Structure 1
Amino acid sequence: MAASAGADENAPWLVAGLGNPGPEYAGNRHNVGFMVADLLAARLGGRFKRAARARAQVVEGRLGVPGVSSTRVVVAKPLSYMNLSGGPVTALRDFYKVPLERVVAVHDELDIDYGVLRLKLGGGDNGHNGLKSMTKAMGPAYHRVRFGIGRPPGRMQVADFVLKDFSSSERKELDYFVDRAADAVEALVTQGLERAQGSYNS
């Protein structure tokens, strides 16, 4: 069954890349959602602009094959800090009239090896503050594109690990993995969850 079953077929998808705003956070592991959102914006051929009624930046366009399977999409980056992501995403959902099952969070995931993707609908937040905020605001029944960053080495605290930049060895493959995550988002919104999982749940 396609992920959009039951949704208004004319409604857009809302893809929220999660991260922290500001140049000091730009290369952090916690900001991989922003990195994917930036690439999706480039694919849409647009530039982020400040949303009218939400603390977020947005780009609107269509993903997929024009005239065949293209889908209207709003790509967003909340301008709040990670633990307050729910407010801006909810405001955008309401403004664009997006059904909850067409909301997608793209985020880092500690319990998955680096670069591995997992797509799913609903579930817990697994301690992720961005998801915790979104779920508190909207409920859990939105899609997640989970980008593995692995666990911190040794005794490093989780908060320190996620707020550090990707290592030099990780950065060698980062562009490839971000590109693949953007592909996974595109497959999710144009083909549905099951087909996207079959292709990208590595």
Structure 2
Amino acid sequence: MLILAGLGNPGSKYAKNRHNIGMMAVEAIARRWNFGPEKSRFQSLACEGSIPTPDGAVKALILKPQTYYNDTGRAVGEAMKFYKLTPADVVAFYDEIDLAEGRFRMKTGGGAAGNNGIRSITAHIGADFRRARLGTGHPGHKDLVQHHVLSDFHKVEMIWVNALIDACADALPFLAAGDDERYQAEVLRLAPAPKLDPRAHARGGD
């Protein structure tokens, strides 16, 4: 079984924030693969479903923690303990400011790179969980980061946002099969990142 945790803040006020793109991605997954109804579990809104792979269907639990972003680990840790899973069974979908808008990278383990949600998960389950990093670009200066991540995507940006989260959903069988590298490649094939505006301050990279 997999836990697919979408990082974000609860409530309509935050729904279209850059910080909530991880939550948007797992919502797209739930729609694409016809997951069951949401229920309040593990300090989250959670729903269950299955993902087809060549070796058979893989069960998955989607978590949308309602703990607020910086305390995501409490919800993830509770669900992982309940199902007796390991960190390798956990995939966190979240916004990555150090990736240019629309870029996508998979990674297992490593540091939090200043992301308090990832730091919280690490504190509760250790660092060796899988990370699906959705690029939202950097505002150019650290003092601007908080406003940047808590601001809504502009209407024009929603074109690439929707393409990226739909690609995360469509390519999911590769993730469920444990082939994160192939999953990353397929997401990028389905949703090529928008060409960077040379006037923008977003910086790419890993």
TM-score scaled to structure 2, two decimals? 0.84
1:177 Cα deviation from its structure 2 partner: 1.1
AA partner of residue 58 (structure 1): A
How far apart, CA to CA, are the structure 2 residues paired with 1:140 and 1:179? 27
Aligned counterpart in structure 2 of residue 151 of structure 1, from 130, 138, 143: 138
1:185 Cα deviation from its structure 2 partner: 4.2
- Verify: 1:135 aligned to 2:122, yes or no: yes
C-alpha spacing 1:201/1:135, structure 2 compared with 1 (3 Å): farther
- Verify: 1:166 aligned to 2:156, yes or no: no
CA deviation vs aligned residue, 1:147-176 (integer Å, no higher than 9, x gap): 000011578610000000012221122211
1:201 Cα deviation from its structure 2 partner: 6.0
C-alpha spacing 1:190/1:119, structure 2 compared with 1 (3 Å): same
C-alpha spacing 1:134/1:185, structure 2 compared with 1 (3 Å): farther
- Verify: 1:20 aligned to 2:9, yes or no: yes
SS at match of 2:60: strand
Q: 1:61: which partner in 2?
A: 49
Aligned counterpart in structure 2 of residue 72 of structure 1, from 53, 56, 59: 59
SS at match of 1:85: helix
SS at match of 2:177: helix
C-alpha spacing 1:153/1:40, structure 2 compared with 1 (3 Å): same
CA deviation vs aligned residue, 1:35-76 (integer Å, no higher than 9, x gap): 01111111232221111xx201111110125x8532111111
Contact 1:117-1:148 at 8 Å conserved across structures:
yes
Bigger drift between 86-95 and 39-48 goes to 39-48
Count residues with an aligned counterpart.
188
Q: 2:201: which partner in 1?
A: none
Contact 1:101-1:143 at 8 Å conserved across structures:
yes
Contact 2:99-2:134 at 8 Å conserved across structures:
yes
CA RMSD of superposed structures (Å): 1.9
TM-score scaled to structure 1, two decimals? 0.86
Q: 2:80: which partner in 1?
A: 93
CA deviation vs aligned residue, 1:90-139 (integer Å, no higher than 9, x gap): 00001122221110000000010111100011111111111010001111
State the identity %: 36
How far apart, CA to CA, are the structure 2 residues paired with 1:75 and 1:141? 19
How far apart, CA to CA, are the structure 2 residues paired with 1:91 and 1:120? 22
Q: 1:6: which partner in 2?
A: none
C-alpha spacing 1:91/1:55, structure 2 compared with 1 (3 Å): same
For structure 2, list consecutive stretches of 5 or more residues without a partner in the other structure: 190-206
Contact 1:85-1:134 at 8 Å conserved across structures:
yes
How far apart, CA to CA, are the structure 2 residues paired with 1:171 and 1:201? 17
SS at match of 1:47: coil
Contact 2:29-2:168 at 8 Å conserved across structures:
no
Contact 1:18-1:32 at 8 Å conserved across structures:
yes
C-alpha spacing 1:155/1:134, structure 2 compared with 1 (3 Å): closer
Contact 2:98-2:138 at 8 Å conserved across structures:
yes
Contact 2:49-2:61 at 8 Å conserved across structures:
yes
